[in-house]
Amino acid sequence: MVDEKSIHDRVTVTEVEEFLRNPPDDFSVEALGSGGYNVCCDPDKSLVLIDDFESSCGKIVFQKSLGRQVLMQNFWEYTSMRKSLLSKRIFLLMSYCVEDSSETDQNKPETRVLQQYVVSIDGSDTYIKWQMERGLDWTISSVAGESYRVDIDFKEVLERWGEENIHMTEKGKPVWRDTCVTLKYYSDALFDFAHWFGFSKRKFNLRLTLASCG
């Protein structure tokens, strides 16, 4: 059995407003005169994968962030990215939403964002690292050196956390959005047909406990 303390060390979920008021160690927040904030961190300790975004506090820019989609064009860049994923604290932005189909087309329910969260995951944690290594190794072995795209999905991590920490009062189905980080690797192969036709897309999910990993 995995102890709950280790689970909570593995992932932290913080409302954007609270993150800006009380940033974690190695982060600093600068309020801009025009509204919004610049957020800085130590890239040697934290891997930030957050695009610029609008919030109730204005535009938020994470300096030195690689963004939600990371492009790698050679083996050195892939190796560097892999090392960061497996050794640093990873910071992501995710949205907790509600789907309400009561007053709309059942096939196209309305989705409203209830809260944006900065999600921090310890990439060096034994359980997280094992899953990440397995997913990345599977991706590389299955595309045989071609260009590829892999989505790392943290949805199950957030669903587990949400079940324990969010008591929704809104009517509708709770859903998490923006739960994936995408790595894109472009090889210099002349005839990269698998990539051209979309056959080299891969995806793997991360979970909070090893016991739940199939």
127-131, 147-151, 189-193 — most confident range: 127-131
Q: Is 192 helix (H, G, I), strand (E, B) or coil?
A: coil
Contact 202, 148 (CB under 8 A): yes
Q: What is the mean pLDDT of residues 186-203?
A: 58
Q: Write down the H helix ranges in 35-186.
A: 75-87, 126-143, 155-165
* pLDDT attached to residue 191: 46
Q: Write down the H helix ranges in 57-110.
A: 75-87
Question: In this predicted structure, which of 31-40, 138-147, 199-208 has the lowest mean pLDDT?
Answer: 138-147
Pairwise CA distance, residues 118 & 116, whole Å: 7
Residue with tokens 């610029």: 52
Q: pTM of this prediction?
A: 0.84
Residue 51 CB coordination number (10 Å): 14
Contact 205, 155 (CB under 8 A): yes
Residue 200 — pLDDT band, cuts 50, 70, 90?
A: low
pLDDT tens-place string over residues 76-116: 898 999 999 999 999 999 999 988 766 555 566 778 888 99
Pairwise CA distance, residues 63 & 32, whole Å: 13
